[in-house]
Structure 1
């Protein structure tokens, strides 16, 4: 039971009377005309008849009314009008304190250690947070990225790129597809397909999206394709941006004999899902804004040519270049085709008459006052995601090095086999881990002056071997090997920190 008290606003009219004096009050069960059971005493033993009246001017607290009721939601009527609708009247409950992290000993957390890193960069909306000097982000070309709102933006030379998953760091790549946004150009070969150029707003917010339509009415297999020169046994990924129009489905396939087994994959542009897919092809669909999706298919070339097709299909299960009944003008919207010589699609690279590369982007922090001596305690903390694990090169995550080699100092990187490799004072340890592309991981590497510990998502995995390297480091790098010659992350980093102490297990769990 709880006592509820309110005052009705008093005012004087021209005759000096107060209309709210002795105003009738009723307490109703919420949403009904049924009077609630109310009481005049706090124990809830003396019923209070309804309606009851607000206090007179001659009484203490004029215009006030009070009653006792059980916990619930009520409508309160004053002068025949609902004055307080859906009023929640509840006694103060005793809420049990539930530990947020029951497996953490809070007393073991040194907040001063957590809150005072030597270096903290690449935070959300904050490139540099705690740093002596300035971060160097070098990329000799422009590059694109998908912003928080699902729109493709272009970053200037040397400009960092922030996405929802964090700061995007990629290696070099090149769009081998020409006239990427000009499907009406003769570079693109059409079969039973017509193109209406610049007919819709594209994923970058401009009006350069093309309509790919059936060229006539009848049983057709409408398609458009472009061929590139390939290297036998190398991985390639064909991608393009698509949006439903009159038709909901689209297919990616390749010329017969260019990929083993002639695989195809279908995409549902209404639901944003992958349909039927053959072996020998790795598909992916990514959602952007305004109904656009990026559809991609990764394959292994079996010869020196790779001809990529966009085909209009009628269902998620259509076979390769299946003929269907079409009405002239029905189709989909398309924009931004790309072929990467990679087992995944990198960020979009616009092209016109020639193939255009995107440069690798080393991210380097100055060493002075941002990292301890190699022999001193430290914690290296990084939150990151990778786009794909199917890559033939090492993925550098972070390093504190004494030279251009990842093995010279402290470093963390992922090998193509899925092994997580760590160096502590130049001594190497490999750990088998499971990495899910697109899912953020937290890795913490600590060294207390004697022993090292590797934590993955808050769990202590191993005690890496410790070498004997001493002295002052030369460089701090994130996402690429040292000065960025190779071994790029191809992913996003959401936080990178260096501390001059070894965090304990409870502290690592707390921040992971």
Structure 2
């Protein structure tokens, strides 16, 4: 394995060399590797490995990721988005909110009550999540006005999500909304957030549902999910209502996003046009190197979901060891938010294991499955949660192992993935607990 030390992040970040991809090493039946968060990752698909693909390109030709210093930074296209908590894997998303970080740009943003009601100024003293300037919204009158824009490009007949980064000032609250201005002037989402000693929380959910995520530097990401489907032909607006009980109250914003989907994905910066971030693609192509076999084996992986499992609209795959007409081993999260491990023999189901543990946004779980003929077990954080003693696996298993998605390139996990381990035998209950605890310690440390 070759790695490149990034001197700009002394002592913290390692990245894979662009011309050499990580190859797993098998010792005593164990697939060994350094933690993902140190920059060692499964090899990409052939197209990405040759640098020919253009997947994951933001408007400025880069991807975004969180670094250990707490800032969103740029990652080169066609490389994994390595974060302190693992490799971020998401499905394709499009930010249809234009000039997402240019709130003073009149070509995209307007103020509902008129430009005099809210003063928007770039503030270099309050550092934004990307290390640049933030935007100060100051109310000039004792009324509620919205900074807004019409967004086109939502998927027709689908749920949508609006999000924005916010930091406390003197204002007590703000609203985030998706407003259908031509469909009977109805709110598809309308959520009020309040500040309490610099801490942001959801105050009321008039329409749809809201959420908040605390970030470094006093920043929060707030989002509002529509209660009803978007009609794309209508005039749909994202609105940030700078609510104020008195004039001259202010607060800070950065990075607006409007997207199709029932939860927010990672931030996608835009300028004059909508930007689509293609789905992440991580896989191990050589099954011999992965040391997976159909007769017996174990797979463990640490996952830190970026969305509550109960908010998923489709099953999300943590991984799939895909053998085509042979054996297939899957770890996933069902739409009820619980972990699942179906094993297939070609198109026939061998077993379908289910856990009682809920997948929760920001909470790391070590999920594992072990198998041998007529002995299949699902573990979460070292504890067995389901088993099956019937059915036979196929005699062969193929490639590749897809990480964070299924073999068809769908059902993405929207999760940070860390520490993939594989064995060519089923671990005992004691071994599973030891390995799960060790992985949890690696992730935490």
- Normalised to the residue count of structure 1, the TM-score between the two structures is 0.67
Q: Given the superposition, is the C-alpha separation of residues 460 and 153 from structure 1 closer, same or farther in structure 2, using an over 3 Å criterion?
A: same
| Residue of structure 2 aligned with 1:185, choices 66, 80, 105 | 105
Corresponding residue to 1:325 among 230, 241, 246? 246
Distance 2:257 2:28 in 1: 44
Q: Does 1:242 align with 2:169?
A: no
Matched, 1:309 2:228: no
> Residues 250 and 269 of structure 1 are in contact (CA less than 8 Å); yes or no, is this contact kept in structure 2?
no
Matched, 1:417 2:336: yes
8 Å contact kept, 2:88–2:415: yes
Larger RCO (CA within 8 A; separation ≥ 6): 2
Distance 1:248 1:164 in 2: 33
Shift of 1:428: 4.0
Residue 228 (structure 1) aligned with residue 151 (structure 2): yes
Shift of residue 408, structure 1, vs aligned partner: 5.1
Q: Larger Cα Rg: Structure 1 or Structure 2?
A: 1
Per-residue CA deviations over 1:44-77 (Å, capped at 9, x if unaligned) read xxxxxxxxxxxxxxxxxxxxxxxxxxxxxxxxxx
Determine if contact 1:121/1:127 at 8 Å carries over to the other structure.
no
Deviations 1:148-170 (A, max 9, x none): 23211111111212223322111
Cα pair 2:175 2:240 within 8 Å, conserved: yes
Q: Is 1:294 matched up with 2:221?
A: yes
RMSD over equivalenced CA pairs, Å: 2.8
Residues 327 and 397 of structure 2 are in contact (CA less than 8 Å); yes or no, is this contact kept in structure 1?
no
Aligned residues: 379
Q: 1:227 to 1:409 in 2, by over 3 A?
A: same
Aligned position for 1:469: 394
- 2:129: which partner in 1? 203
Map 1:330-341 to 2 at 5 A.
330-341=249-260
Q: Distance in 2 between matches of 1:511 and 1:453?
A: 15
Q: What's 1:392 paired with?
A: 313
Secondary structure at the aligned position of 1:497 is classed as strand
What residue in structure 1 maps to residue 382 of structure 2? Answer: 458
Asked whether the equivalents of residues 443 and 455 of structure 1 are also in contact (C-alpha less than 8 Å), the reply is yes
* Aligned counterpart, 2:9: none
Change in Cα spacing, 1:145 to 1:117, as seen in structure 2 (3 Å) is farther
8 A Cα contact 1:366 1:476, kept in partner: yes
Contact persistence 1:167–1:493 (CA under 8 A): yes
**Structure 1 unaligned runs (5+)?**
1-113, 315-323
Mapping 1:53-202, distance limit 5 Å? 116-121=28-33, 123-128=35-40, 134=43, 136=45, 138=48, 139-141=55-57, 142-186=62-106, 187-190=108-111, 191=113, 192-197=117-122, 199=124, 200-202=126-128
In structure 1, the residue corresponding to 2:242 is in which secondary structure?
strand
d(CA) in 1 for partners of 2:291 and 2:79? 29
The alignment status of 1:429 with 2:349, answered yes or no, reads no
| Cross-structure match for 1:66 | none
Structure 1 position 357 matched with structure 2 position 276: yes
Deviations 1:403-440 (A, max 9, x none): 3x9x9511112232335332334324152532222211
